[in-house]
A and B are shown apart, each in its own frame.
Chain A
Amino acid sequence: MSEPLAVDAHGLTKIFSKGSVKALDGFDLEVPTGQVVGLLGPNGAGKTTAVRILSTIIRPDAGSATIMGHDVVKHAARVRRVIGLAGQYATVDEHLTGTENLSMVGSLCHLPRVDVKPRAKELLEQFGLADAADRPASTYSGGMRRRLDLAAALVARPPVLFLDEPTTGLDPQSRIGLWDVIEALVKGGTTVLLTTQYLEEADRLADRIVVINSGKVIANGTPAELKADLGTTVLEFTLDTPERAQEAAALLSDLSAKVAHVDGNLLELTVEQGPPVAAESLRRLDAAHIDLLGLSLHEPSLDDVFLALTGQKTEVDTEALTEGVTRRGRKAKEST
């Protein structure tokens, strides 16, 4: 192998005892050094479980993984020296200031003592938190906390970074701000494994996307490849009755390489070229005297990815059964 893999996981399986839910079921992942891989999937797909195993927080029940060549079970201590972890549960200490949080992590990463404070200051400036450096993190906004959390993950300049849903729950502006920060990091050569529920996020940040569902990889490719598979635009027609929707589906099905999806009086077509197909559809429906109540065009969402890959809608809310079990009240607290 010429280029060593930063992350190399094979057959990872994790079963949470309560409910014997398979959070991961033979999960494979390869992240080449210097690349950004987006792990895309709905709630409960096993993304967070994968990251927790790769960052040595929990052990897999089966399978193996190495980070920069170090085994996550046998050489966990070595793995911890080369990784940074930041996530949707921004785990900063609320009572400590920004500076104190980063200094604590710097000390615990065994930076030389004289470097601890300067490194904290440098990161706070870099992440636009210099003005809030001496305020307790409890006074920070959601976006500021995520930035502090990300800064904490970077204190020891780890070559491999795990970002577990870094922007979930953030407002659009904070999300874009965080994307800029992550992009800058990536330019510096850091290997990043990013989990996300947002196709847009994976598309913007990742070199490759791995789609996961029910603990298994169901697709793997560059964003362009996945999009080509998916079609780039979803046309959603609203008709007055389900019968009309079926008629319309029959009339328009040849416009898309994918199967038209009918749900009640809604018809969804996934197509490569949105506007021309929409125009053609309108002509045909008009000629057939089928009235439209509505028409919308949108970029494929994660739901559409799943629809295309699995033929079924995403199962949401299974997360409580899988990843939530060992995390106790944390989820409930975060979601309020």
Chain B
Amino acid sequence: MTSATIAPPASSTSNGVGTMFRDIWTVTKRNLIRNVRVPEALFFSSLQPIMFVLLFRYVFGGAIPVEGTTYVNYLMPGIFVQTMCFGAVSTSIGLAEDLQSGLLERFRALPMSRAAVLGGRTSADVIRNVFVIALMTAVGFLVGFRPTGNVATYLAACLIMLLFSYALMWGFAYIGLSAPNAEVAQLMSFPLLFPLTFASTAFVPVQSMPGWLQGFAKNQPVSVTVDAARSLMVGGVYHSQSSVIKAIIWSIAIFIVLAPIAVARYRKV
């Protein structure tokens, strides 16, 4: 125990934006390591979207007529966005777990940036979504997905979807910090996700829905994001510059509204 001397606190000089990013990155890394340590969780959470692809491609797809392209081309942008949304649930689960385990309490007594916990959580979940997009792209190609644009438009579509999932994560952060435990956080998330992802343009054309539902299904943010991704990945009759712009505006608006709510909630826990 030779080192137990009192040194001046090494942290006294540091403050500001640089340390904030360093702290966010430290927490991000910690959250990413978890994915590697529990590969089962990553495996099974990747399996679910693959099942959706197979389900819609081979079971329902034949019964769903779409204009101007194959059903698998119509489907994949929808599946991508759905997967991004479901992936955002990991934000609520992760935060609920950290709250329950007492780790957030330990963080509170550390001289770290107050932004690091939420920033690190959402950053890690976005990075995880990048991995999921890559995986789903490969699965899509295997089942006949043939995007028509070039690499640049494909990547632009991916960025729009990631931006949307990032904005949503702040809402799920609020849920995770409000739920009594991780299981409840997960259960609380799905009633929000199901109407948003299924009453949308993700899987079926809106024209097949009853009139009263069409207005919601056409304009809600998941549909707008799906339309934007479809415009960039499939094009043709789905080309829609306005969807791309609307999707970006929706994501920014969602972020602007939800992030302060999540941050306020975090300050209170």
- Contact A329:B181 (CB < 8 A) given known A56-B109, A157-B6, A185-B4: yes
Within A173-192, which residues are at the interface with B (CB < 8 Å)?
A: 181, 184-185, 187-190
Contact B102 A330 (CB under 8 A): yes
**Residue A333 CB within 8 A of the other chain:** yes
Contact A108 B116 (CB under 8 A): yes
**Which residue of B19, B100, B103, B106 contacts A329 across the interface (Cβ within 8 Å)?**
B100
- Contact A108:B100 (CB < 8 A) given known A81-B12, A158-B9, A185-B4: no
Contact A95 B34 (CB under 8 A): yes
Q: In the complex, A158 Cα to B1 Cα: how many Å?
A: 15
**Residue B112 CB within 8 A of the other chain:** yes
- Please give me the residue from chain B that is nearest to A89 by CB atom: B102
Within B15-47, which residues are at the interface with A (CB < 8 Å)?
A: 19, 22-23, 26-27, 29-30, 33-34, 37-38
**Interface membership of chain A positions 149-179, coded 1 if the CB is closer than 8 angstroms to chain B and 0 otherwise:** 0001010111100000000000000000000
Using a CB–CB cutoff of 8 Å, the interface residues on chain A facing chain B are: 52, 55-57, 77, 80-83, 85, 89, 91, 93-96, 100, 104-105, 107-112, 115, 122, 126, 136, 152, 154, 156-159, 181, 184-185, 187-190, 327-330, 333
Distance between B41 CB and nearest chain A CB, rounded to angstroms: 10
**Interface membership of chain B positions 1-14, coded 1 if the CB is closer than 8 angstroms to chain A and 0 otherwise:** 10111110111101
- Cβ contacts under 8 Å, B99 to chain A: 328
Contact B102 A81 (CB under 8 A): no
Using a CB–CB cutoff of 8 Å, the interface residues on chain B facing chain A are: 1, 3-7, 9-12, 14, 19, 22-23, 26-27, 29-30, 33-34, 37-38, 99-103, 105-112, 116, 180-181
- Contact A327:B102 (CB < 8 A) given known A95-B37, A110-B111, A188-B6: yes
Contact B103 A122 (CB under 8 A): no
Distance between A277 CB and nearest chain B CB, rounded to angstroms: 41
Q: In the complex, A89 Cα to B103 Cα: how many Å?
A: 9
- Contact A188:B1 (CB < 8 A) given known A107-B23, A109-B110: yes
- Cβ contacts under 8 Å, A82 to chain B: 9
Contact B109 A83 (CB under 8 A): yes
| New A-B contacts (7) at CB < 8 Å, excluding given A57-B109, A329-B181 | A108-B107, A110-B19, A115-B10, A181-B1, A188-B3, A189-B5, A330-B102
Contact B38 A95 (CB under 8 A): yes
- Cβ contacts under 8 Å, A328 to chain B: 99-100, 180-181
- Cβ contacts under 8 Å, B116 to chain A: 108
Contact B1 A159 (CB under 8 A): no
A to B CB contacts below 8 Å, 15 in the list: A81-B11, A81-B111, A107-B23, A109-B112, A110-B22, A110-B111, A111-B10, A111-B11, A112-B10, A136-B37, A154-B4, A185-B1, A185-B4, A189-B5, A330-B101
- Contact A80:B110 (CB < 8 A) given known A108-B116, A329-B100: yes
- B4, B22, B26 — which one has the most chain A CB atoms within 10 A of its CB? B4
- Cβ contacts under 8 Å, B30 to chain A: 93, 96, 100, 104
- Please give me the residue from chain A that is nearest to B110 by CB atom: A108
Contact A107 B22 (CB under 8 A): yes
- Cβ contacts under 8 Å, B106 to chain A: 85, 91, 152
Distance between B174 CB and nearest chain A CB, rounded to angstroms: 16
Distance between A73 CB and nearest chain B CB, rounded to angstroms: 13
**Which residue of B19, B33, B100, B180 contacts A96 across the interface (Cβ within 8 Å)?**
B33
**Which residue of A57, A81, A115, A185 contacts B105 across the interface (Cβ within 8 Å)?**
A57
Q: In the complex, A157 Cα to B99 Cα: how many Å?
A: 26
